Chains A and B, each alone.
Chain A
Amino acid sequence: MKQFKLPDLGEGLQEAEIVEWFVREGDQVEVDQLMVSVETAKAIVEVPSPMAGLITRCFGRPGDMLHVGEPLVGFEGESEDHGTVVGNLGSASGNGGLAAEDFHIGASPSTRDFQPVRAAPAVRVLANQLGVELARLKGTGPENLITERDVREAAAGDGTDNGTPLRSVRRTMAKNMARAHAEVAAVMIVEDADLHRWAGGARDPMVRLARAIARACVAEPALNVGFDGKRLSVQPHSHVDLGVAVDTPDGLFVPVLRNVAERDPDDLREGLARLRRDVANRSIPPGELMGATITLSNFGTLFGRYASPVVVPPQVAIIGAGVIRDGVVAWQGQPTVHPILPISLTFDHRAATGGEASRFLKVLVEDLEAPD
């Protein structure tokens, strides 16, 4: 099968959505006969056939998003390379599942954030030859220009000088955190929840935290939204999907507990247990790691009081919960000892105001402090 791959239909566009097919598998087409209309970020365009022939495969259905370079149409005949357009499928997989290392925590990073690297043409050819990815290098030349030496050193291996490259979950974590840190206008507020009304001295607060966050989201929806910093637009969410940060030796996972506002405590407890089990077994499906509307980072099982957890766009808020401790508090005019749960809230000040965050935190803490 000869494959026609989706070309760049605009100027530097990365993807297009299939709108409508004008041909079907088994159809005979002429050169320049219209085959399919696709919508890019800029336009709806009709894509003609680059050749005359029999169509054996239409890749994707209306609504499917294809990246530039992915197969669009298969034609009958031996696979042969017609330059960049009609060629072998190679390693680009059109419809394979997500590889375990390729999922993203939070929003998928935009390809438009790509920064060009600075390197002379000969250095680029060398890097290509040695299989060195220039984007990973930090240039040592003037204004961070990548030099031939940089490339050779990188190619010389994961040697002692250059450290060990991050892989997999840690690599994803590093990229997402750096991007979030660069983009978000983070503001933190903290407060303690006094848990002395809780029955039986229970110290697993996850279900209560989930409920308190859900109620705070209902009372102050401004922190349960998606924010697009490029278009400066806000997308309110009708439900609360809570990302739960889970620490593992491999790095950070944030599986999503769906629709927490509508679920009863037993259901939540079971959902949490399943998330933890799945993460421990590394059997969590990629879909379960996407689409959180707000995130909880509970480091109370570890160590520490307050934190400034990082908000990952398009989310605008993350709640940190520290270790429950016995603290001396003023109670009815007297010093007394109560169990105290320290709460930290980081929010993106581009999307929410301090007042909104403060009201959110108040509802959250008051719900935590309630007897049940």
Chain B
Amino acid sequence: MPLSTCIPYTQFINDQGELSGPLPDWANDVDLLRALYADMVLVRAFDKKCVALQRTGQIGTYASTLGQEAVGAAVGRAMTREDVLVPYYRDTATQLQRGVAMHEILLYWGGDERGSAWKNPDVAEDFPICVPIATQATHACGVASAFRIRQQPRVAVTTCGDGATSKGDFLESLNLAGVWQLPVVFVINNNQWAISVPRSLQTAAPTLAHKALAAGLPGEQVDGNDVLAVYDRVQQAIERARRGKGATLIECVTYRLGDHTTADDASRYRSADELNAAWKHEPVGRYQRFLHAGGWWDEEREQRLQRDVHQRIEDEVEVFRATPPASATAAFDHLYARLPAQYALQREQLQERVEALGGSSHE
């Protein structure tokens, strides 16, 4: 059955917050509509807090989600509990939806490995954040292969940026997912910038979704600033994969309104005009206007939400601050199933030294 070489594009809500096409049936669930908004508001506020914590030396480098809240919020919500997320470093929104705690995300970016050992059993099998570019796509194929072998109706969802789609790991993963019909969904957060490389210099392909065609997968674009469009398409792709119909590639077209990370300064390579224009398409404002216009949202709900969000963030930051440092010997743990003799000796020596210091485990 030949695939169409035409790449579909989905948008339900335009920049003004108006409907640009008929909504799918699931959108009759008003609680879900409101929840998606609350998700994005939380991510935006938490993201701002993370940058402030980096700027005051309380966490390390952080990759901001600003402008791309709709992608992660929708992907996280579209997954079911038994699915597995294989994320990259710009997945604060997705991880929050999956059930990772904010203080755990802060621990991770604060350089504490316990920030990837989530307490919530719902996310026990999700993968930790992958920083090397595109390698997570291969991990996701491994996870999906395991589901196939175990005959479990589960799906691996993996995310990446636009720059990652130029990597061999990404293309190899698409190929494998196609030929083995793996239950995996690839979601691209195309925010137009791979650090300082613009989308126009990244690839000559007309869309990033076209890369699916060579692997024999369906590829499609969605408006990544339209949370309903992302939710709808990702959910369809996940259910398709669950039914054994194979993988899908979804390119979410959005924009990175912040710096690449807190160690970057985008004003050195990106014009203010381009940035200002992009703000007109951002996802939170348009969705709020949509909810207001439909009568599903009002000022009172907004104020309650803002208070609640800020309180939750405050509480989580406190938990993060109150977390005692990991023990010195943790540097040796979790690397091997059984520690090689040399390292075991070093660990023992370190333990003795720390005890000799009077139990102060953190230097």
Contact = CB atoms under 8 A, between A and B. Distances in A.
B349 interface: yes
B204 interface: no
Interface in B314-352: 328, 331-332, 346, 349-350, 352
A126 B355 CA distance: 12
A126 B353 contact: yes
A43 interface: yes
A126 B353 CA distance: 7
Interface in A20-46: 31-32, 42-46
Contacts of A43: 259, 263-265, 268
B257 to A, nearest CB: 16
A32 B259 CA distance: 18
Contacts, number: 76
Contacts of A6: 57
A31 B265 CA distance: 23
Interface stretch (A7-15, A279-287, A320-328): A7-15
A83 B321 CA distance: 9
Nearest to A82: B321
B350 A122 contact: yes
A13 to B, nearest CB: 8
Nearest to B317: A31
Contacts of A8: 57
A48 interface: yes
Interface stretch (B6-14, B48-56, B126-134, B243-251): B48-56
Contact of B56 (A11, A50, A121, A126): A50
A36 to B, nearest CB: 10
A84 B346 CA distance: 27
Given A32-B49, A120-B346, A129-B353, A47 B56 contact: yes
Contacts of B262: 9-10, 45
Given A121-B328, A129-B357, A10 B58 contact: no
Given A10-B263, A43-B265, A45-B265, A122 B55 contact: no
A47 B55 contact: yes
A125 B265 contact: no
Nearest to A121: B350
B328 A7 contact: no
A10 B363 CA distance: 23
A85 interface: yes
A128 interface: yes
Nearest to A125: B353
Contact of A4 (B56, B259, B265): B56
A122 B49 contact: no
Contacts of A128: 363
B353 A7 contact: no
Nearest to A47: B55
Nearest to A48: B52
Nearest to B56: A50
B321 to A, nearest CB: 8
A122 B58 CA distance: 26
Given A8-B57, A43-B264, A121-B328, A32 B353 contact: no
B353 A48 contact: no
Given A121-B346, A122-B352, A125-B350, A44 B55 contact: no
Contacts of B346: 120-122
Given A10-B263, A121-B346, A32 B363 contact: no
B354 interface: yes
Contact of B55 (A31, A45, A148): A45
Nearest to A7: B57
A11 B54 CA distance: 11
Contact of B354 (A9, A32, A125): A125
Contact of B331 (A48, A121, A129): A121
Contacts of B116: none
Contacts of B268: 43
B259 A122 contact: no
B357 A122 contact: no
B265 A85 contact: no
A102 to B, nearest CB: 25
A125 B57 contact: no
A250 to B, nearest CB: 36
Contacts of B55: 7, 9, 45-48
B61 interface: yes
A42 B263 contact: yes
Among A8, A10, A84, the most chain B Cβ lie within 10 Å of the Cβ of A10
B220 to A, nearest CB: 36
Interface string A132-153: 0000000000000000100000
Given A9-B55, A85-B56, 12 more contacts: A6-B57, A9-B54, A11-B60, A11-B61, A32-B49, A45-B262, A48-B55, A49-B56, A122-B350, A122-B352, A125-B350, A129-B357
| Nearest 7 CB-CB pairings of A with B | A7-B57, A43-B265, A122-B349, A50-B56, A122-B350, A125-B353, A10-B263
14 contacts: A8-B57, A9-B54, A10-B263, A31-B52, A42-B263, A44-B265, A47-B56, A48-B52, A50-B58, A85-B58, A121-B328, A121-B346, A125-B353, A148-B349
